[in-house]
Amino acid sequence: MNDLALIGPILAAMFAAATPLLFAALGELVVEKSGVLNLGVEGMMLVGAVCGFAVTVQTGSATAGFLVAALAGAATASLFAVLTLFLLANQVATGLALTLFGVGLSALIGQGFVGIPLDGLPKLYIPGLTDLPVVGQALFGQDIMVYLAVAAVPLVHLFLYRTRAGLVLRAVGENHTAAHALGYKVLRIRFLAVLFGGAMAGLGGAFLSMDYTPMWAENMTSGRGWIALALVVFATWKPARAMLGAWLFGGVTILQLHVQGLGIDVPSQLLSMLPYLATVLVLVLISRDVARIRLNAPACLGKLFHPDA
């Protein structure tokens, strides 16, 4: 019975740990579907985390904090968009530079907020459901952002595969030259996609600082942006698979914490490495199926486009 009683809190913690990964991965998935590769997810998450936290501390409004976090992530992403889409800078190099920029900028903004605690978001409580054994707390006792992240999965799927705008975005990612010839504004479409990816990364970062921790600390994303990038490949650019992957990596994160709590004689450094080792292992296994990656990856991913070329 004691073991069953632990399942609910572990599942609840797993879903919470997966939420920032899911926000960031869904945003990057849309970006890559448009044919743009933005490796600056980590930096955008950090900027969103510190800006959302700062606004929440100053105003007392978590809603304002999350809105500002999304705007901050989008603003940071716009720098990448201008450099790569209009100035034709290398996307890989610019994405890496954006991560370094985000690390430094977030540390600068957050100097006065280190160690300040927040109460976090209120948890949902539904009489009769939240109290269900085993799964009640995990499924019906989370905060609103966990449910918004899950709700974003079918919304992104519907947008990409059931709307004309989504079809156009995927067409741009598959063949930007043909899309331009048909009269579609390739650069505008990609710019909006990059802004959306930045906003989602900002929300993921804000969830960390405003609810999951909740406090601000430098580099608090701890590589989650890179895991989100790996999740997009793991999911073969499919939203539902991205959610499953986020839950998987969230589960690994929680597992290593519980293993440490049980006092098992394993070096803590090794346990802390588990989520990242799992990421590397999954990418190695997926990379062996080259045909599947080529079939699902946008054909113009990472390729520069100029309308006059």
Q: In whole angstroms, what is the distance from residue 292 CA to residue 236 CA?
A: 8
Q: Which domain holds residue 192?
A: 2-296
Q: How many residues appear in the chain?
A: 309
In a domain, 188, yes or no: yes
Position 238: which residue type?
K
How many domains are contained in the chain? 1
303 belongs to a structural domain: no
Pick left, alpha or beta for residue 246 (phi over 0 → left; psi -120 to 50 → alpha; otherwise beta). Answer: alpha
What single letter denotes the amino acid at residue 85? Answer: L
Give the number of C-alpha atoms closer than 13 A to the C-alpha of residue 180, restricted to the C-beta side.
14
Judge whether residue 1 has pLDDT over 50: no
Residue 216, beta-bridge partner list: 114
- The reported pLDDT for the residue numbered 130 is 85
- Give the pLDDT band of residue 275 (cuts 50, 70, 90): confident
- Greatest C-alpha distance within the chain: 68
One-letter identity of residue 83: L
Instruction: Residue 93: give its domain's CATH number.
Output: 1.10.3470
Least confident of 126-130, 193-197, 212-216: 126-130
Question: 101 in helix, strand or coil?
Answer: helix
- Confidence grade of residue 237 (pLDDT, cut at 50, 70, 90): very high
Q: How far is CA 65 from CA 18, 54, 61, 121, in A?
A: 20, 7, 6, 11
218 pLDDT above the threshold of 70 = yes
CA atoms within 13 A on the CB side of 241: 11
Contact residues for 75 (Cβ-Cβ < 8 A; gap 6+): 198
Lowest-confidence pick of 9-13, 251-255, 296-300: 251-255
Packed helices 186-207 and 164-174: angle between N→C axes, nearest 10 degrees: 100
Looking at the chain, the whole-number percentage of residues with pLDDT higher than 70 is 92
Query: Is there a domain that residue 301 lies in?
Result: no
- Rounded to an integer, the average pLDDT of 288-301 is 79
Identify the band that residue 263 occupies on the pLDDT scale cut at 50, 70 and 90. Answer: low
pTM of the predicted structure, to 2 decimals: 0.93
Summarize pLDDT for 104-150 with one digit per residue, the tens: 999 999 999 998 999 889 988 888 888 888 788 888 889 999 999 99
87 is a domain residue: yes
Residue 262, in any domain of the structure? yes
Domain-embedded: residue 307: no
176 compared with 263, residue with greater pLDDT:
176
Query: Quick check: 2 pLDDT over 60?
Result: no
The confidence score (pLDDT) of residue 9 equals: 83
Q: Evaluate if residue 82 carries a pLDDT over 80.
A: yes
Q: What is the mean pLDDT of the chain?
A: 90
pLDDT at 261: 60
DSSP 151-214: HHHHHHHHHHHHSHHHHHHHHHHH-HHHHHHTT--HHHHHHHHHHHHHHHHHHHHHHIIIIIS-
Average pLDDT for residues 246-275, to the nearest whole number?
Answer: 74
DSSP letters along 230-246, please?
A: HHHHHTTT-HHHHHHHH
Tokens of 108: 């600068």
Encode pLDDT of 32-69 as tens digits. Answer: 999 999 999 999 999 999 999 999 999 999 999 999 99
How far apart CA 26 and CA 279 sit, in angstroms, is: 17
Cα 233 to Cα 4: distance, rounded to the nearest angstrom:
34
Range from 67-76, 150-159, 242-251, 277-286 carrying the lowest mean pLDDT = 277-286
**Does some domain include residue 231?**
yes
Distances (CA, A) of 306 to 89, 144, 166, 169: 12, 41, 22, 17
pLDDT beyond 90 at 266: no
Q: What is the pLDDT of residues 226-236, one digit of tens each?
A: 999 999 988 98
Among 203, 118, 158, residue whose Cα is nearest residue 30:
158
